Structure 1
Amino acid sequence: MSKSSAPSQATLADPEVLQAKSSPTRDDDLWFDDGTLIVVAQNVEFRVYRNHLAERFEVFRDMLSFPQPTPSDSTDDLPCPAIHVTDSARDWRNVLRLLFHPEEQGLFVKRSDPSFDVVSACVRLGHKYQMTAVYQQAMAYLKYHFTADLLICKSRRNWVPPGFTLAHAIGVVNLARLTGEHTLLPIALMVCCWKEADIVEGFTYDDGEQEKLAHDDLGLCFAAKARLLKVTILAYFTTYTPPPPGSCELKDGDACRRALQGLADIAAREVQRATLPNPIVVLNYALTGSGPRLCNGCSTAVKSRQLERQRQNWKQLPSVLGIDVPGW
């Protein structure tokens, strides 16, 4: 995990300053009466265990190593030391649940569909506070679903994880920009390009906060959508040109030529209906038995052409999107 991010915004709070602010709200789910540390985020208090937190948040270790006032030294409203953070209460709630609720621990191992809220919280706080284990698990989950591996991509039925919507690709783009994990960008940006005008609005979390693309990425999507559509159309129409000489196993190749024309007509109709420009799509008409039938030789040639076109489109996907992804 990168250590080059800006210093984390976390400070030990002065009890008098905290009391001068509007009354905070306790999070009932994450308030342990015997807790030894209070985390305050967006005026929401989480009372947890100091040592448990210090073990997992690297940047808090030195801070929490200094002598702290005992509960008897504190006011009734501040029964133990407090740390004031600048992050959202939503993110802290999701991460602290992973740390302190047994049923939530090992989330990325036990469950196949963690929500975007949980994954993004783990990435943001894990990256900011050098919480390595949580960050690495969440990032590995994103890298599997927003993969740089064509074979993995083809093995899945959906372009986003089970617990995500297409709109959450906007958040994935922002996480990639935050962390420098640029291999997430091609798939995430392509999915963003499937959005209509509502891409400008982004999406809204349960607490009312909006997640939007940065202006540069928004402009990138507008420009890339036309290029994606062009490459997608090319993928459809170049697939069903006549196969190389010698491929057809029939004495009279007219039947396969007519079948290829029929498949080209089907592809044309598919392109007209297409609303999601996706140059990675595989056209399976000649391979599944539906539509016009080809002989084995022509079918093999078409399949080979499909796969080669797919590999080419996958390789050039970053450039089509207008981004640079080293090692893609």
Structure 2
Amino acid sequence: MSTTSSTPPIPNLTNVTRDNDFWFDDGNVVIITTNLRTYSNLCPTAFRIHRSVLARHVRAPEDLLLADLHIGDPLTDTMDGCPMFRLPDSSHDFRCVLHAIYDGPNYSEAGKPLPFSTAAALVRLGHKYDIDSARDLGMKRLDSVFGKCSTWNLAINRSAPVSERSWSTEVLSLRRKDPIIAVNLFRTINAQDKLLAALYMCTELDNDDLLTGTTRVDGLAEKLSANDLARCLDARDRLAARCTTYIVDTLTLPSRTDCRKKKTCDQRLKEIKPLMLTQERHQSFGATRCGIVGPIYPQWSQDTKLCETCRVFLSDRELDFQKTLWRALPSIMDMTGVEWDNLFSGTYTSKMWKASHMLFYNFYVS
């Protein structure tokens, strides 16, 4: 399926700028890319690097390396005595790949998350040119957010209103609309499970964000394809319908036979109803406004107006519902066939769920 990612133009040779990081005096080849941030004339950037270094990382014989990289024949002009080749890629993306090639494990500063734009660049060009070291480094970081178990843990544990939620982790930082870029990237490399996670994240964006798309760090525009846009909007309705059904079923449950305070618990459920169904509550927790996966009523395990038996039952019931919702994501997003099994092979226990609820409870009562 086609995406709506922009493609950088093949750079011309007007006003070529030497890259500050990758212009080696002993380099023996110059690669020209497009600097899309200079909007007036798309000023190209030149990288003087080592052919032998590229040969160690690009999966191609040395004598075919530059044939794989350049567009058309080598340019007749040279720069500082080195042959020049043009790449139809952005200067930002190529610079990220060179950092991965030259700096290796020292590329990213210890203890600091890698920007999504950097990880995406590594995967984008690593996939395009078979640069395993770059692609693997980028995918490792992307897995921390877009791996199916990672996305579940992030979704279920966030303790902030929808408008303030972030998908960032300790190793990867995301901007609010980066999931749009992720969708197009994962379609390009055919990473179906990560694509599903990214599409789900897009359902949390406002309609304006989905329609207008976003701009990458390198200046390229990104939008969802018409099919993916429709997929996200339809999925919102399906998720919202399931969440609403869950809420109604929960609030009309008959009293449990082992309930210790039947009248009190029945009354408390009636009191909770407006808290779960008002527009303000939907906007705070997001679970039914846009069909967002996450705690719907975070206070189940701390609500002392319910007996302990009911607190445990209702808290566990909501966790089971969220797991069921997440397992059904392939069909909800109209992406059946995606491997989404064994998602909960780990031990996400009721104790962990209650800890998550406590985070939400403390956040909203403070």
Does the alignment reach a TM-score above 0.5? yes
Question: Deviation at 1:159?
Answer: 5.0
Q: Give the RMSD, CA atoms, in angstroms.
A: 2.8
CA distance in 1, matches of 2:299, 2:291: 19
Larger radius of gyration: 1
1:211-231 deviations in Å (ceiling 9; x for gaps): 111222122223222222222
1:106 offset after TM fit, Å?
Answer: 4.2
Match of 2:268 among 214, 234, 259: 259
Secondary structure of residue in 1 paired with 2:21: strand
C-alpha distance in 2 between matches for 1:236 and 1:105? 49
Alignment of 1:160 onto 2:167? yes
Deviations 1:179-201 (A, max 9, x none): 11111123321221222223222
* TM-score, with length taken from structure 2: 0.72
Q: Does 1:324 align with 2:316?
A: no
SS of 1:83's equivalent?
A: strand
Match of 2:305 in 1: 293
Question: Helix, strand or coil for the counterpart of 1:87?
Answer: strand
Alignment match, 1:210: 221
Match of 2:31 in 1: 39
Instruction: Indicate the residue corresponding to 1:242 in structure 2.
Output: 253
CA distance 1:321–1:56, shift in 2 (3 Å) = same
**Counterpart AA for 2:300:** A
1:208-255 per-residue CA deviation (whole Å, 9 max, x = no partner) reads: 3211112221222232222222223233333344366323123xx100
Provide structure 1 residue ranges, at least 5 long, that are not aligned to the other structure. Answer: 1-17, 67-73
Alignment pair present for 1:187 and 2:197: yes
Q: CA deviation at 1:312?
A: 0.8
| Structure 1: distance between partners of 2:269 and 2:66 | 73
- Give the fraction of aligned pairs with identical amino acids, expressed as a percent: 26
Q: Secondary structure at the match of 2:113?
A: coil
Map residues 28-107 of structure 1 onto 2, 5 A cutoff.
28-42=20-34, 43-59=44-60, 61-64=62-65, 77-101=79-103, 105-107=106-108
Q: Sort the Cα spacing of 1:325 and 1:244 in 2 relative to 1 into closer, same or farther, 3 A.
A: farther
The alignment partner of 2:46 has SS state of strand
SS in 2 for 1:117: helix
Which residue does the alignment assign to 1:119?
119
2:18 aligns to what SS in structure 1? strand
Q: Is the 8 A contact 2:231 2:334 kept in 1?
A: yes
CA distance in 2, matches of 1:302, 1:209: 47
| In structure 2, C-alpha distance between the alignment counterparts of 1:280 and 1:32, rounded to whole Å | 50
Whether the aligned pair in 2 keeps the contact of 1:287 and 1:299 (CA below 8 Å) is yes
Partner of residue 305 from structure 1, selected from 317, 331, 336:
317
Supply the distance in 2 between the matched residues of 1:288 and 1:62 (Cα, whole angstroms): 68
Highest RCO, 1 vs 2 (Cα 8 Å, sep ≥ 6):
2
Tell me how far 1:156 sits from its aligned partner. Answer: 5.6
- How far apart in 2 are the matches of 1:199 and 1:300? 39
How has the CA–CA distance of structure 1 residues 244 and 183 changed in structure 2, closer, same or farther, with 3 Å as cutoff? farther
| TM-score, length basis structure 1 | 0.80
Q: 1:256 to 1:244 in 2, by over 3 A?
A: closer
Per-residue CA deviation, residues 68-120 of structure 1 (Å, 9 max, x unaligned), is xxxxxx97634223332222222102221333357x8342x824421122011
CA distance in 2, matches of 1:64, 1:245: 71
Residue 206 and residue 171 in structure 1: after superposition, are their counterparts in 2 closer, same or farther (change >3 A)?
Answer: closer
Give the CA deviation at 1:302: 0.4
Partner of 1:26: 18
Aligned to 1:7: none
8 Å contact 1:242–1:260 — kept in the other structure?
A: no
Provide the aligned length of Structure 1 versus Structure 2: 297
